[in-house]
């Protein structure tokens, strides 16, 4: 069974080379395992992920991929650990899994959000326009960023985890999820919000990675009005954000951030 002494991480032997003789020791490493997603007992995709918060992941993945319009279509999630990895079976009668000749049969690697999608129209799907009402103080992004590092225990131990966080409009972090895959971390976060009954559009999302097209798509599909990334966005992510009304922020660093689309959502605090 793929378990470790501490969930999400495991120790492995290492030899540290530097000055003098190599030193033998152990290192904490991020846990990465194959995760088979099934809908109603039928295989849909195999993802590489950190096997934590899998109910959140199943919910977020289902909604952010547009397989269901709402979480009320998910009747239950069953998680099973096997020798080879993990199986997550989502009971969702409204999801029709195609036959084996058309299914998403390729694996979804840790760094890939659309691996296994076999047609262009499956990837470049239009999104509804986001409402324009959200207003966030620009300094709130800095407050959220200042809290993020302390809310990433697995990354602190392993140095190999991405994080996705949701903050209120004043910059208080409410939820953080970690995973070796940036898309997985975001799906876990969105799933946690939906399962709690929170509206993702009432705050903003901060990710410790680049803002790719897939990340922007997942956020926008769940109604997130502002996505902030520590790294850069891609051209396609900017185009998508501009078209659907998503405020996209990149290079979020202490004292600095770059706004690529819809800057009207960010307001300056009064003096």
Q: What is the DSSP letter of 211?
A: B
- Tell me, what's the pLDDT at 108? 52
> Within 13 Å and on the Cβ side, how many CA atoms surround 83?
0
Report the run of H or E that residue 186 belongs to, with start and end. Answer: helix 182-196
Domain contains 178: yes
In the predicted model, is pLDDT for residue 115 greater than 70? no
Domain contains 128: no
Residues 107, 185: one domain? no
In the chain, how many domains are there?
2
Residue range 136-186, pLDDT digits in tens:
999 999 999 999 999 999 999 999 999 999 999 999 999 999 999 999 999
Domain contains 26: no
Active site residues: 112
Domain contains 111: yes
pTM of the model: 0.89
Domain contains 8: no
Residue range 190-236, pLDDT digits in tens:
999 999 999 999 999 999 999 999 999 999 999 999 999 999 999 99
Domain containing residue 107: 33-123
Which CATH number characterizes residue 263's domain?
Answer: 3.40.140.10
The pLDDT of 98-121, averaged and rounded, is 51
Domain contains 20: no
End residue of a domain, out of 123, 152, 172: 123
Residues 157, 249: one domain? yes
**Beta-strand runs (E) in the chain:** 9-16, 23-30, 33-39, 42-49, 76-81, 86-91, 107-108, 136-137, 162-168, 173-179, 203-207, 226-229, 247-253, 256-261, 266-267
Residues 58, 149: one domain? no
Residues 64, 150: one domain? no
In the predicted model, is pLDDT for residue 90 greater than 50? yes
Which CATH number characterizes residue 53's domain?
Answer: 3.10.20.10
Cβ contact 30:50 at 8 Å: yes
Distance CA 110, CA 163 (A): 13
């Amino acid at each position: 069974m793929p378990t470790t002494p501490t969930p999400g991480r495991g120790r492995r032997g290492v030899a540290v080379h530097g000055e003098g003789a190599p030193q033998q020791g152990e290192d904490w490493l991020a846990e990465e395992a194959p995760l088979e997603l099934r809908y109603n007992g039928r295989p849909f995709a195999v993802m590489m992920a950190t096997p934590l918060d899998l109910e959140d992941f199943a919910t977020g993945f289902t909604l952010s991929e547009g397989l269901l319009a709402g979480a009320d279509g998910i009747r239950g999630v069953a998680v099973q650990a096997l020798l080879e990895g993990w199986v997550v079976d989502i009971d969702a009668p409204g999801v029709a899994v195609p036959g084996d000749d058309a299914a998403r049969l390729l694996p979804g690697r840790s760094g890939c959000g659309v691996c296994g999608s076999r047609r262009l129209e499956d990837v470049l799907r239009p999104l509804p326009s986001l409402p324009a009402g959200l207003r966030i103080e620009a300094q709130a992004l800095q407050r959220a960023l200042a809290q993020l590092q302390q809310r990433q225990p697995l990354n602190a131990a392993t140095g190999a985890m991405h994080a996705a966080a949701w903050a209120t409009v004043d910059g208080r972090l409410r939820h953080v999820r970690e995973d070796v895959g940036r898309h997985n971390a975001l799906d876990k976060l969105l799933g946690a919000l939906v399962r709690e009954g929170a509206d993702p559009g009432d705050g903003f999302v901060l990710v410790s990675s680049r803002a790719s097209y897939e990340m922007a798509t997942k956020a926008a599909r769940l109604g997130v009005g502002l996505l902030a990334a520590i790294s850069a966005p891609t051209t396609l992510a900017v185009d998508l954000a501009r078209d659907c009304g998503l405020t996209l922020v990149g290079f979020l660093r202490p004292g600095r951030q770059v706004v690529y689309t819809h800057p009207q959502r960010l307001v300056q605090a009064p003096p």
